[in-house]
Structure 1
Amino acid sequence: RSCSHMLLLVALVAPAMNVAVQSSWADLHCDSPPRLSAAESARSLLQTSTSGMLCSKLDGADAAFATGTAFLIDDAGCPVVALPESQAARNLQGSAAATFFARAADGSAQAGSGVTIIGDAEQLPIDSVTDHQLNVLGQRSGLSPERLATFGWLRVKPSKVHYADAIYDSEAWIPHEEYADAEASVLAGDASELLLKLNNKHASDLARFAAVYCSVHEADIRACQVLSIDHLGFDLGVLCKSGCTMRESNVVRIGLKVSPQTAEEVVSAFTKLFQEAYARQQGWM
């Protein structure tokens, strides 16, 4: 398997590590690095996902009926979908109870993590649907806005929200009020492209940084990959050779003192970290 696949597996099973950080770093929170809350993580995941699974109650059967569907999120974090005349639509006419699930795609920030929303499906009058929502759902579903305008629109209003974090192998129930008030990371829309750029073009820089930051020899690091990134910091997956002072598989959370607000600011922050890691490795700091 490729290093990318290996590190993805690491992300699925390895808990966060307390590493021996080499002295203080000017731009990093070395002690107790901040992380997004479960609510912020859930909102970030759903903002950047384009398809999910809608489950409704099948009349006369003790079972749920699952339907894959494109979706978008409204300002309160409710999944919004458009359904043609179908079994799912008929189920929801009989019972509004619904569960919605979305999973972060491989290669994206929070890859493998999932959000489950349990609540009721509320019908949305078509005149309340904006042109922007029609266009976005059209792009995600492959259907024309004109076709979507003939569908039944609804949103799933949460009563319970569950977030499963694949990177740290953890899960949490989120109060629906906290979920509704939370905001996605300002970098959520840029995260996938940033991960691709950092992991493909700066693999050697990342390995050097990981070695210096974690106080191990660079030769002991088999592979290194940024697993997720947000405005508070990033999660670094490190795969070490046997015999290294660190455990073989590690996920390290690294917090940024100054929160980047754009992709350009993220690139600048990493450039400074790479330069500082090189200077430390050379004994200049």
Structure 2
Amino acid sequence: MKNKKKYVATEDSLDFSEIVANALGIPFDKNQTKENAYKLYDLYYKDISLVLPEETHNCRFDNFASGSFVAFADQEKNIPLINIDQQWSMFFLDANILTCIRTFHVLAEEEAHQNAIIFMENLETFRNPLSHETIREKMKPFIVKYVEILPIANLLTMCMFGFILCHELAHHNLGHIYEASHKQQELDADTQGFQYLKRVSHQFEQLEFLKIPPNMLGAPVIAMIYLQALEAVGIISTSGDTHPSVPQRTQSLYEQFNKAADKEARYLYNGLRLSCVEFIDEMSKMKNASC
């Protein structure tokens, strides 16, 4: 893809980031943040390459802002290539912020309802990707009020994006791009991708940007539950010949996670999963009430 667009940090977003950083007591360098934001996903891939040098050898990574929620493995001039739309990270971060707020705080009824409405609106970005800016504005009061959950939400988002990278890398190393697409390939790429992610996580202290501690390894399973929420409200459908159902992928990934998880990882995952179940239940009620 030539002349690809990428998201850039605006002055407004940088100003709000500084407010958040000050509230969390984190040093903030506006110029460095702006520079890192533009190449952040490339820096993530660089960290993965440090942990997986053989697996990433001669494999390129491309990320862009097409608003199409794509992620796929292919090749360009016979060089393996991973392509991921940055929209995934936008979606995951907003979903993770809302889920973490519900997980770590007991919300009043009206606030919980508003939290669920924004969660559902975030799902709608699959239909209208540009609406994420409006949603982020709506979320600012929640972010300021519950600012302490942001580091966890950010780590979850890093882990989810890292898993997508590892999943697509697995497609290359398993030779899937040379075969006709079928469902088992996705399950195999999930399994191998999770093993890659686990290796990255175990070396998080040596990495500079993709610092995912092992207690975050439930994030890919939560990402699959977000996809289940998208299916529950009819926004996406995974029925077809090339991809297994989302529940099947969720269960398969959970089994991988359960083998690797420590006590902290399970505790966090269980809390996040319950919040997701609440979201899906509330969305179903809102959908039925509107009929």
* Structure 1 and Structure 2 fold alike (TM over 0.5): no
When you count strand as a share of all residues, which structure comes out higher? 1
Larger radius of gyration: 1
When you count helix as a share of all residues, which structure comes out higher? 2
